[in-house]
A = this chain, B = another copy of it.
Amino acid sequence: MNLHQLMRDLREDNGSKIVLVVADGLGGLPLELGGKTELETARTPNLDAMVREGVCGLSIPVLPGITPGSGPGHLGLFGYDPLEYKIGRGVLEALGINFQVGPRDVAVRGNFCSINDKGLITDRRAGRPTTERCVLMCKKMQTIKVPGVEIFVEAVREHRFVVVLRGDNLGDHVNDTDPQAVNVAPLHAVGEDANSQNTARAINTFILEAAKLLKNDAPTNMVTLRGFARLPKIASMQDIYGLRSACIAVYPMYRGLARLVGMDVLDAGKTLAEQIETLRKAWNTYDFFFLHYKYTDSTGEDGNFAGKVEKIELLDLEIPRIRALNPDVLVVTGDHSTPSKLRSHSWHPVPTVLCAKTVRPDGVVEFGESHCRRGGLGQVEAKYLMSLAMAHAGRLAKYGA
């Protein structure tokens, strides 16, 4: 019996509401021995109040020592074992720009890059062009024809775009053409099996044509492709938990990820205040809300300790507006840690708080890594947070007689 089947067997609909707030990359590290983390440094009276009333702990995103990307990090929080369900970067990016990836599609993430007259990459991000230029260049590439496959080219933002190949017998076991280095040429695509060779052939033709078209468009005069991926088979949250689920996220990847597990992706606005307004308006229409807050991660990735502290404090300020809606279960956590000391995602367990009428309070009075370590949830794999939320929402029946 797997966890999802257990949920299907035990779930009950009592009309209760669950809100999952994901502060991306929430967990951190102190800059020096004896110091505090970003979250411990931040003034968070509203999150602290949640901790006093709720139960807290540390969420292990995948397994001890394993640092997740955004995909596995979020899948875990939605209750999908991130080692069982794998989502390629191409699919995530495509879903994130509202592209409806279908069963005959292979999606791949594209980057504009700059090459010199020897064909060697001089800038892997083409000097980060404006999104307007990205759209213009993608329009050019939309004219490319490759026999036997339908090709879609869609701008994402700055240097990033998505290519989707649609056709029969297209595999996704194809190497990235991005060499992840400068002063080398983009790589040739090679397929590992017959179907993937079809994909590689098509994409190599596409790249050749793109190179001709973009020849005089320096710095956006070449493209690299990475993360060839087909749509994975994945059950929806409605199917597993019986929850009408909504995503309120600003950034494409998280919207794409939510769509993949069957959430309705709402028009979130651009600010946290607008996101919460969206939440308020949609309150009666859904049972489960995933609210994504990006800036705790991006400041961490930038190595900006003070910036991350500030972004945490801004999140804290909005917590009362969420609580005012009186959700039956409110969880605040992160998909992984992004310590500004490391300037990257990390494996460190993530501070997590769950508020509901049925929690067993644990005496913890402050939201932070050290305090959560002593919390009532202990250290728990992220994939179990949904079953805990379902239980506290009164949505799970007894197992067995």
Contact = CB atoms under 8 A, between A and B. Distances in A.
Nearest to A67: B398
A34 B399 contact: no
Contacts of A69: 398-401
A70 interface: yes
A68 interface: yes
Nearest to A69: B400
Given A345-B398, A379-B378, A399-B82, A391 B66 contact: yes
B384 A64 contact: yes
Query: A interface, how many residues as a size bin?
Result: 35 or more
SS class, residues of chain A in contact with chain B = loop
B67 A399 contact: yes
B360 A391 contact: no
A71 B401 contact: yes
A348 interface: yes
Nearest to A379: B378
A29 B358 contact: yes
A258 to B, nearest CB: 15
Contacts of A3: 63
Number of chain copies forming the complex:
2
B10 A89 contact: no
B358 A362 contact: no
A6 interface: yes
A394 B71 CA distance: 21
Interface string A48-73: 00000100001000111111111111
Given A65-B396, A89-B401, A363 B370 contact: yes
A391 B87 contact: no
Interface string A370-392: 10011011111000100111111
Interface of A: 1, 3, 6, 10, 29-30, 33-34, 37, 53, 58, 62-73, 82-84, 86-89, 92, 227, 342, 344-348, 358, 360-363, 369-370, 373-374, 376-380, 384, 387-392, 396-401
17 contacts: A63-B387, A65-B384, A65-B389, A65-B390, A65-B391, A66-B387, A67-B399, A68-B398, A68-B400, A69-B400, A70-B401, A72-B400, A73-B400, A347-B388, A347-B391, A347-B396, A378-B379
Given A64-B377, A67-B397, A373-B374, 8 more contacts: A1-B83, A29-B360, A34-B361, A66-B391, A73-B400, A88-B401, A89-B401, A347-B388
